């Protein structure tokens, strides 16, 4: 089963279009949603949360088509927004009192445990909290109602490296229960190198790929060689290309093809997710 299914979803704004995007978030795994600034990650996540209504397409969450009239499916979701969705003038404890009654599964002991682990001051006003503290508070609230699906929009932005690593460990613990699923968006792709099973990549409102991370890393290849090897046709083999006075570095999405083209005349390197995102977003920009 898929925890989330997105079929042919489109959404237009004045200067932007999310175009006919379809992908699945498999149950029991961590899926990373990556893409440069403005690619459409938050638009997709807000569409799943019913906060943005797509112009067309269908979305199902945990087997149910979502419906703006019925918000009960959200009880099963732990949502961490990239914006402050809480009332600034309240303390953390006061905000928790508002949020907790929405969840029949609310676990006060678990909430207190997270407040303690994250060293969060319950009596501090939200407006007096740092960005990292607000994110930690969001995570505490999201996990304290035992959600089956955790949806996080840029959760690691604003977190120091120590807590970022702790958060990733916490997510790994949460996913140990095979009924749980995580979808999280980030442009810090190193987080995904560590924990993601699947990767969905959007660029300028278009889906580039959505598949198992290992398959992506097996298929893409970086090629480094001398400029004399490049001509117009060869350039078209690359998703993105960086050329210098003497050489080039290019990303191919077809490992077998470039190896058969270049043989031993070049050097090969498996790209990181960051390199795949960089070359795809930049295309054939020249650096001479």
Ligand X SMILES: Nc1ncnc2c1ncn2[C@@H]1O[C@H](COP(=O)(O)OP(=O)(O)OP(=O)(O)O)[C@@H](O)[C@H]1O
Which of 6, 34, 39, 192 contacts ligand X by CB under 6 A?
39
Contact (Cβ atoms closer than 8 angstroms) between residue 172 and residue 158: no
With respect to ligand X, which residue has the nearer C-beta, 43 or 180? 43
CB–CB of 57/8 below 8 Å? yes
Q: Does 34 bind ligand X (CB under 6 A)?
A: no
Ramachandran class of 119: left when φ > 0, alpha when ψ lies in -120 to 50, beta otherwise? left
Q: How many residues does the chain have?
A: 288
Euclidean distance between CA atoms 147 and 158, whole angstroms: 24
The correct pick among 187, 219, 255, 282 for binding ligand X (CB under 6 A) is: 187
Nearer to ligand X, 38 or 65 (CB): 38
Choice from 23, 25, 42, 47 touching ligand X (CB under 6 A): 42
CA angle 217, 220, 224 (to 5 degrees): 120
Query: Measured from the CB of residue 45, what is the shortest distance to ligand X in angstroms?
Result: 8
Q: Considering the rule CB under 6 A, would residue 43 count as an interface residue with ligand X? A: yes
264 binds ligand X (CB under 6 A): no
Which residue in the block uniquely carries the two structure tokens 């490296």?
Answer: 161
Do residues 27 and 180 lie in contact, with contact meaning Cβ atoms separated by under 8 Å? no
Does 38 engage in binding with ligand X (CB under 6 A)? yes
Q: Does 35 bind ligand X (CB under 6 A)?
A: yes
Q: 14 or 123, CB closer to ligand X?
A: 14
Could you tell me which residues are beta bridge partners of residue 79? Answer: 151
Residues 2-21 that bind ligand X (CB under 6 A): 13-14, 16
Residues engaged in binding ligand X (CB under 6 A): 13-14, 16, 35, 37-43, 187
């Amino acid at each position: 089963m898929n925890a989330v299914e997105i079929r042919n979803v489109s959404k237009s704004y004045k200067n932007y279009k999310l175009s006919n995007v379809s992908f699945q978030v498999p149950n029991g795994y961590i899926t990373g949603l990556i893409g440069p600034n403005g690619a459409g990650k938050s638009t997709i996540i807000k569409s799943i949360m019913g906060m943005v209504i797509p112009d067309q397409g269908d979305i199902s969450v945990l087997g149910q088509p979502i419906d703006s009239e019925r918000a009960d499916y959200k009880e099963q979701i732990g949502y961490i927004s990239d914006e402050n969705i809480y009332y600034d003038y309240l303390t953390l404890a006061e905000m928790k009192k508002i949020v907790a009654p929405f969840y029949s599964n609310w676990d006060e002991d678990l909430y207190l445990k997270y407040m303690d682990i994250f060293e969060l001051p319950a009596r501090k006003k939200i407006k007096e909290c740092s960005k990292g503290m607000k994110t930690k508070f969001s995570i505490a609230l999201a996990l304290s109602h035992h959600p089956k699906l955790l949806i996080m929009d840029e959760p690691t932005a604003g977190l120091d490296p120590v807590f970022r690593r702790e958060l990733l460990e916490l997510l790994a613990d949460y996913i140990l229960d095979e009924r749980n699923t995580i979808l999280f968006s980030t442009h810090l792709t190193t987080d995904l190198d560590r924990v993601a099973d699947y990767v969905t990549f959007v660029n300028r409102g278009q889906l580039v790929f959505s598949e198992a991370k290992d398959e992506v890393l097996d298929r893409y290849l970086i090629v480094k060689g001398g400029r004399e090897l490049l001509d117009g046709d060869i350039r078209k083999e690359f998703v993105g290309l960086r050329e210098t006075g003497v050489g080039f570095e290019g990303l191919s999405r077809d490992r077998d093809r470039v190896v058969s083209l270049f043989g031993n005349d070049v050097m090969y390197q498996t790209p990181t997710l960051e390199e795949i995102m960089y070359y795809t977003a930049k295309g054939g920009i020249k650096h001479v």
